[in-house]
Amino acid sequence: MNREKLEEKLREYHQEHLLLYYDKLDDKGKEALSAQIEKVDLNIAALIHKDNGLAGKGIVEPLSGMERKEINARRDEFEAAGIQAIQEKKVGAVLLAGGQGSRLGCEGPKGKVNIGITRTLYIFEQLFQNALQVVEKTGAWVPFYIMTSDKTHEETIEFLKENQYFGYQEDYITFFMQEMTPSVDYEGKLLMEAPDRLSLSPNGNGGWFSSMVKAGLLEDVQSRGIEWLNVFAVDNVLQRIADPVFVGATILTGKDSGAKVVKKAEPGERVGVLCKKDGKPSIVEYYEMTPEMLHEKTPEGELSYSYGVILNYLFKLDKLIHILNTNLPIHVAEKKIPYVTPDGEYIQPSEPNGYKFEELVLDMIPLFEDCLPFEVVREEEFAPIKNATGADSPDTARALLKLNGVIL
């Protein structure tokens, strides 16, 4: 697009300031900026006013799930069904790895964080170890789709290649990039990170499937005969991938989605909670729970909203395709967003100065017919690494890995 066309497009959305530095840019800079402006959704006002989150809207009630007792009683049956589906190549895995390890003091992809003590043990390495257990058990390779972001793509590919995918077969690994959305100030004006660059950030983990489709991977998924996708986060080193028992339980109970859950450790634990909203399974994210919901108890004295999701979901492919064009709610988060001033000065704010927009994978759940809440043992399957120290840190994860026999 030339200047005139860009101006015309921007005027419509009151974002003409994006061309403030345009005339001073060289041809490469002009092209780069123009490409970004063409690509982004400029209808920010619509984003800000979209339904924001689930909490407090609709009738929210507790939801009971499949508990350990029931799972253990039917374990063999579930496991056999899951193994069969994996051997028939019906299950694929999607690793959400777009995040950076900056909070853990490591620039670059979070999966590159080394949590070993006497040896190196990268987060990616541990996840592949977990996946290899299933390969060993079933004799079948589970195709892995790895979602990266603009900021982590090249480095992730390079790192995994260098390390020979930690023993996983290269033919079963495919990368795709998460899409980006613009950040805005409190007036809804798009922020710029540099004179030739908008401030963009990953669009949240809810965009994983549409990003996969936009990357042209639906054909790949379908040609492999995949019917189920197991989506999971990079930050839980005890994550079981394509767990045959979970896969089998979801299939045999006739559900079209499943969510692994743990009993919450305490009311304030920072996990999304599986519940019912307007009669359908839904997840309310921890920061959207009301104090009443957080503390409500059953007559037996247990938390009413006790199932915390560990970001490990199973989705049926045909349903994912069916809901592909359904809009997910946009979650608006106030953040500190670096930007350039009209004089070209780069500012790194110490206080929040604007909004980022995210779609969340948990908002997909109500779009499915029914979801199986599948209870897992926290000590065996949930060791998230979110913070440098304290709760959910490398230290807590190491303790849990040790408990599971991993040598650090």
Q: Residue 9's closest CA among 190, 186, 200?
A: 190
User: Residue 229 CB, nearest distance to ligand GN1 (Å)?
Assistant: 15
Choose between 112 and 386: whose C-beta lies nearer to ligand GN1: 386
Distances (CA, A) of 325 to 96, 319, 320, 328, 367: 21, 11, 10, 9, 11
Per DSSP bridges, beta strands 371-375 and 257-263 are parallel
User: Residue 271 CB, nearest distance to ligand GN1 (Å)?
Assistant: 3
User: Residue 265 CB, nearest distance to ligand GN1 (Å)?
Assistant: 12
| CB 378, CB 262: distance < 8 Å | yes
User: Residue 336 CB, nearest distance to ligand GN1 (Å)?
Assistant: 17
Choose between 79 and 358: whose C-beta lies nearer to ligand GN1: 358
Choose between 90 and 386: whose C-beta lies nearer to ligand GN1: 386
| CB 329, CB 50: distance < 8 Å | yes
User: Residue 236 CB, nearest distance to ligand GN1 (Å)?
Assistant: 6
Residue 88 has phi, psi (to 5 degrees) of -80, 10
Binding site for ligand GN1 (CB under 6 A): 205, 233, 270-272, 285, 308-311, 360-362, 384, 386
Choose between 42 and 310: whose C-beta lies nearer to ligand GN1: 310
Choose between 50 and 89: whose C-beta lies nearer to ligand GN1: 50
Choose between 99 and 248: whose C-beta lies nearer to ligand GN1: 99
| CB 356, CB 193: distance < 8 Å | no
Q: Residue 122's closest CA among 234, 205, 233, 231?
A: 234
Choose between 85 and 311: whose C-beta lies nearer to ligand GN1: 311
Residue 176 bridge partners (DSSP): 147
Choose between 204 and 244: whose C-beta lies nearer to ligand GN1: 204
User: Residue 24 CB, nearest distance to ligand GN1 (Å)?
Assistant: 39
Choose between 73 and 377: whose C-beta lies nearer to ligand GN1: 377
User: Residue 353 CB, nearest distance to ligand GN1 (Å)?
Assistant: 21
User: Residue 384 CB, nearest distance to ligand GN1 (Å)?
Assistant: 4
| CB 212, CB 47: distance < 8 Å | no
Choose between 105 and 342: whose C-beta lies nearer to ligand GN1: 105
User: Residue 96 CB, nearest distance to ligand GN1 (Å)?
Assistant: 8
User: Residue 238 CB, nearest distance to ligand GN1 (Å)?
Assistant: 11
